[in-house]
Amino acid sequence: MTFQWPLMLLSLGLIPVLIVAYLLIQRRRQAYTLRFTNMALLTKVAGRRPGWKRHLPPVIFALSLAALLVSLARPMAVISTPKDQSNIVIVMDVSGSMAASDLQPTRLSAAKQAAQDFVNNLPGNAKVGLISFNTVARVEATMTTDHNAVDRAIQNLNAGGGTAIGEGLDEALKQISAQADKATPTATASANATGQQDQATQVPAVVVLLSDGKSNSGVSPEQAAANAKDDNVKVFTVGIGTRGATPILNGRYNPDAGLDETTLQNIASETGGQYFYAAETKELRDIYTALSSQVSWVTEQTEITALVTALGTILMIIAGFLSMRWFHQVA
């Protein structure tokens, strides 16, 4: 936590002064009580001592005062807030190898669940699209803020066919480009006037690509990565499946079903993204959970004066309420 007006923290020096004053008052009260020599009569007149209840309202009051004094310094905290806008395209491998069961219950089922969690963790204003690919790429859901529609599209994915990583990534770039063409007239006019879109108005776009195999058809992954770099689109890649092993599909080994980590790593590196590997279902879900925060939330210094002031006010009200409830006077 930092403060815009740190010198105001010096006012916290009032708290120890008040504590000392309170202790002196309590000592004087005890000395006055001891002057009353007939203790049996005093007990009948004064009744039971309040015990710890006597000190609780002053303690809460001191905490409330401390919070209010801290608020004078205008505290700042680093918190996560949703980006104003973000465009995200999920690209999922649905080739035949995704039916392998080294991730439970299958690679595709684990990937679908992780992707659904990913979408559910995004801010409501994030636009999400879904591309599936095997031998060819398909648009399963155009970019939308209707996350339920994307969730249903993920649920309907099925495994079968070859692997065309480059095709899937290229189709994602087309979706992002189409979304950029829907920019407001003001932003478009500004882009035409300056020859480039202002960074302040450019909506960040990222691709999250998952695959378990080696590309064997369509546009090369290297060319697709170069296109993404030219479009200033970061690509986060996720590899799944057992390293160094070829899964058995339909009772036989498929040499094309092995994970090509090098290609996925190169795509992420080329575009400024990051590569992740998941050998288990839980690891995959953890990766997608982390990615949802990374691609659509931003950490920034935010002033929390209002929150601290509210806390101090609530504590002061509680202290006053308890004092009136127990002693019929304000602490």
pLDDT tens per residue across span 249-305? 665 665 556 789 999 999 999 999 999 999 888 999 999 888 887 776 566 678 889
Local confidence band at 200 (pLDDT 50, 70, 90 cut-offs) = very low
pLDDT tens per residue across span 3-45? 889 898 999 998 899 888 888 887 776 665 555 555 555 555 5
Q: CB neighbours of 62 closer than 8 A, spacing ≥ 6?
A: 15, 18, 19
Q: Quick one: pLDDT at residue 175?
A: 93
pLDDT tens per residue across span 301-327? 788 899 999 999 999 999 888 888 776
CATH 3.40.50.410 in the chain is located at 87-181+201-279
Q: Which residue has better confidence, 279 or 78?
A: 279
Strands (E), 70-195: 75-82, 87-93, 127-133, 137-144
Cα separation, 138 vs 151, in Å, equals 16
Q: Quick one: pLDDT at residue 199?
A: 41
CATH superfamily entry for domain 87-181+201-279: von Willebrand factor, type A domain (3.40.50.410)
